[in-house]
Amino acid sequence: MSAIAVIRRLQESSGRYDLLTADWFYYLNMACRSLDSRASYRQQVGRSLTPLAAGDDRIVVIDLRALEEVWLHTSTGKIKADLSLRSLGQIRGAQAVWDIPTLLQLELGISPSLATAGGRIFCVEVMNRVSQSMSDKTVVSRVNLTNSAALTIAAQPLVPTELMILIEDGLLTPLNPSRDITAGTVTITGTDKDDAALIEAVDCSAGAGEYITTGRFKTITTVATTSFNYLTTGDEKITVLSSRMSFARDLDIAKAYRSTTLVFWPTLEEKATVECIGKFYPETLSADADTNFWTEEYSDALYAQVAKMLEIPLRNREGLLDWDRAIEQGIFEVTANEIERQEASSRNTGIA
C-alpha cells in the first residue's frame, strides 16, 4: 500500500479533510518510528554502502538506528573499523598517542596505502547537534594533476588556517596502483593573519598522500604546481582544502534528524566504500507513491497508530484505548512472525 492510500483511508474514516498532505506525512513518519520502537523484525537489520573520498574522514548515513559493524573496502583490501572509541575527545587522545610512531614510520619510509593507527581505523558515531557548519572550504577543486602556473581558486578559508594538499596517484589501475611520483612542488601564495605576504613551497615528492602547510593562510592568491614527474592524464588528482584544524573539522557534522555522521581516524589515503551494518529506521515517506515496511506489510498497525495520534489533541480517552488495542494486535503479529523466523533459523542451523 502506498503512502497516499494510507492517507486516503485515514481521511475517509476520520473525516479530517482539514489536514494538509504535509501534515499527514508528518503523522505517518512519526507513527513509523513509534511502531519501530515497539517491534523487532527482520527488515530492521540491514546495511548501507557509502563512498568515502580519499583524504576525507566522515560520511553521513541516513536512518541509522543502531550501529553494529563498519567495514571499509578499498582496492587494496578491506578492514573492520574499530568502534571502541565513543567520542571525538577520545579520538583526539588517540591522535596524540599515535603521533610518535607516525613520525618514525615516515622516517623509515613505511607508508601503507590504507592509513591505520596501529593496524586499526577508528570510527565514532557523532550526534547531530550543530548550529553552524564549519566544513572544509575547497580552495582548489579536485582536478587532474598537471604542472600548471595557476590552478583555479574555488574559495577562501573561513579563518586563517593551514592548508591541506591531497595528492592521489594510481587512479587508472585501482587493482594494482601505480604510484610513480618522485618529484613535485606545490607553491601557495597569499596572506597571513596580519595581511602580510605569505608564500610557501610544499615538497610533494613523496607522491600520494596529504601534505599540510606550516603557514596559516588568511587569503590565497595563487596555487601553482611545478616539477611533477611521471604524470598520466586521469591517473593523478590534486585537491586543496582549508579549515583543516581539528576544531573546525569536528564541527562539520550533518544537522538533519534522519542523518548520522560517522567520523574516521586516521584519514584514508585512498578512496573506500564504507559498509555500515546495523538496525535502520524504515524509509521516510515524502511522496504519494512512497512505501516502507509498515505501509507494505502492516498498514493496519500504521493506520491505528496515526489514528491514535489524532485522538490525543481531542483528549478522547476511550478512542485512545480502542486504538491501543488495535496497535497491540499489530505489534503481536509482527513479534510472532519474528519469533517464528528465528525458530526456523535455529532449526535450520542446528542451534537449540
CB atoms within 10 A of CB 21: 12
Q: What region does 305 belong to: left with phi over 0, alpha with psi -120 to 50, or beta?
A: alpha
| Exposure class string for 301-313: b at 16+ Cβ within 10 A, else e | bbbbbbbbbbbee
Asked if 36 and 232 count as a contact pair (C-beta separation under 8 A), the reply is no
Distance between CA atoms of residues 285 and 120, nearest Å: 38
pLDDT digit of tens for each residue in the chain (352 aa)? 899 999 999 999 888 898 899 999 999 999 998 998 888 888 888 899 999 887 778 888 988 888 999 999 988 888 899 888 877 777 767 666 555 455 455 455 554 444 555 568 888 887 655 444 555 678 999 999 999 889 999 989 877 888 989 998 888 876 555 678 999 999 999 999 889 999 999 999 999 888 989 898 999 999 999 999 989 888 899 999 886 544 445 445 555 567 888 988 887 778 899 999 999 988 889 999 999 999 998 889 999 999 998 888 888 788 788 888 889 888 888 888 877 777 777 776 655 5
Q: What span, in angstroms and rounded, lies between the C-alpha atoms of 335 and 306?
A: 20
- Architecture of domain 131-252 in this structure: Sandwich (2.60)
Question: For cell 581516524, what's the residue?
Answer: 265
CB 187 within 8 A of CB 226: yes
CA 197 – CA 288 distance, rounded (Å)? 58
pLDDT tens for residues 193-219? 889 999 999 999 999 888 989 898 999
- pTM over 0.95, yes/no: no
Residue 224's beta-bridge partner residues?
187
C-alpha cell at 92: 583526539
Grid cell 491505528 is found at 304
Please, where in the chain does CATH 2.60.120 lie?
131-252
